[in-house]
Amino acid sequence: MNPEKLSPREAWQRYIDRRRTELTQGSISTYNYRLKLWCEWCERQGIETVSELSGWTFDQYESMRAGKDLAPNTLHNEMETLKDHVAYLERIEAVDDGLSEKINVPDVPQDERSRETKLDTDDATQLIRHYRNSESDYGTNFHVVLELAWHTGARLGALRGLDLRDYDSGEQYVEFVHRPQSDTPLKNKTHGERVVSLRREVCNVVDAYIRNERKDAHDDHGRQPLFTTIQRNRPQKGTFRTWSYRATMPCVTGGCPHGYDPDTCEFRNHTHASKCPSSRSPHHIRTGSITWHRDCGFPREVTAERVNASQDVIDEFYDKATKMERMQLRRRPHLDKLEIE
């Protein structure tokens, strides 16, 4: 087949197929979504082959997407993916060399690239203290997910992929293992594998969960997941998110800062937990955890290894300490080193 005759849809599928061996399933899904939007737009414009693409085509598409009031970072990512896709089409000689350079990837200010929302340290410690002192909530799935997410800074997929064998109470650690063949890959594949130490009080929570709450279960691959549902299987990512939202609701520790009655608030229902203005997703817990690690004096390189992220990525996207916090918590303790007398 002449590659110039590829339709936008055929080109999209071919590109995704070529990237499967180097990208995680999550990244594949993201790229698929972005290029699906592009492909559907091309079809509405009557573009039948990739040979019809031009700088004017890309400018029209960018204008259309910008008109959707997208966040600057979203538009940047979509156009960056499209640019990479067209660069692939250049390599297979489906389009003219240099066509990808005609795609504008809008600049995003540094402060808008990073994700500002996080679980604040004060809120996290207040919630954790509540759970640790609660007779009814201690060791529940809400509690143990919050404890492990906060103390390891792990991603949702890494936590979901933990097996019972990956936790060692005596040695006080959890081990994150890349197992793509049985549906629990790590984002950075084998580079994401690591052993993360835990404090004894965190292990006590995990022990209580295993002893009192965890169901004896095997997943579809015969593995014993650490976290289980009442249906006795490994929870889906949506279930994990719900547990996270429920665990971080401020009314857990007292009244509602938004004026709702906790006894009648619809956000207390698991299907609406994400709508609570103060509840936080696993990603927001991870962001807050990384900032907390740095504020507690963990060096950048130690934090990076513990949470499986590069030091540059941590600085740009995750470490949300204010200028004052950086001064008070990170630099002031070193002030005595400057004493002259």
Domain for residue 37, yes or no? yes
Rg (alpha carbons) of the chain, rounded to whole number: 24
Query: For strand 173-176 and strand 167-168, is the pairing parallel, antiparallel, or unpaired?
Result: antiparallel
Closest Cα partner for 223 from 189, 177, 257, 259?
177
> What is the domain count for the chain?
2
Residues 58, 184 within the same domain: no
The range of the structural domain enclosing residue 161 comes to 121-295
Q: Which CATH number covers residue 236?
A: 1.10.443
Q: Which CATH number covers residue 92?
A: 1.10.150.130
pLDDT of residue 114: 47
Whole-number Å distance between alpha carbons of 83 and 89: 10
pLDDT of residue 278: 87
In this structure, what token pair is assigned to residue 222?
Answer: 């015969």
Q: What residue type is 2 in one-letter code?
A: N
For helices 237-247 and 282-295, give the axis angle rounded to 10 degrees.
Answer: 60
Residues 47, 129 within the same domain: no
Domain for residue 188, yes or no? yes
Taking only the tens of pLDDT, the chain with its 341 residues reads 688 899 999 999 999 998 887 777 777 888 999 999 999 999 999 999 999 999 999 999 999 999 888 878 889 889 999 999 999 999 999 999 999 999 999 887 655 554 457 898 899 999 999 999 999 999 999 999 999 999 999 999 999 999 999 999 999 999 999 999 999 999 989 999 999 999 999 999 999 999 999 999 999 999 999 999 989 899 999 899 999 999 999 998 888 888 888 888 888 887 788 888 889 999 999 999 998 888 888 888 888 999 998 888 777 656 655 555 555 555 555 445 445 55
Residues 12, 69 within the same domain: yes
Residues 167, 290 within the same domain: yes
Domain for residue 332, yes or no? no
For helices 72-91 and 25-44, give the axis angle rounded to 10 degrees.
Answer: 80
Closest Cα partner for 249 from 236, 232, 266, 237?
266
Residues 160, 270 within the same domain: yes
As a three-state string, the secondary structure of 156-180 is HHHHHCCEHHHEECCCCEEEECCEH
pLDDT of residue 115: 46
Residues 27, 169 within the same domain: no
Domain for residue 168, yes or no? yes
Domain for residue 336, yes or no? no
**Do 99 and 86 touch, CB atoms closer than 8 A?**
yes
Closest Cα partner for 121 from 332, 252, 280?
280
Q: Give 298: exposed, middle or buried? Use CB within 10 Å, 0-12, 13-18, 19+.
A: middle
Domain for residue 205, yes or no? yes
Closest Cα partner for 298 from 280, 319, 284?
319
Question: Of 110, 142, 167, which closes a domain?
Answer: 110
pLDDT of residue 318: 62
Rounded to 5 degrees, φ, ψ at 239 are -65, -40
Domain for residue 68, yes or no? yes
Residues 134, 283 within the same domain: yes
pTM for the whole structure? 0.67
Residues 154, 133 within the same domain: yes
Residue linked to tokens 């640019």: 83
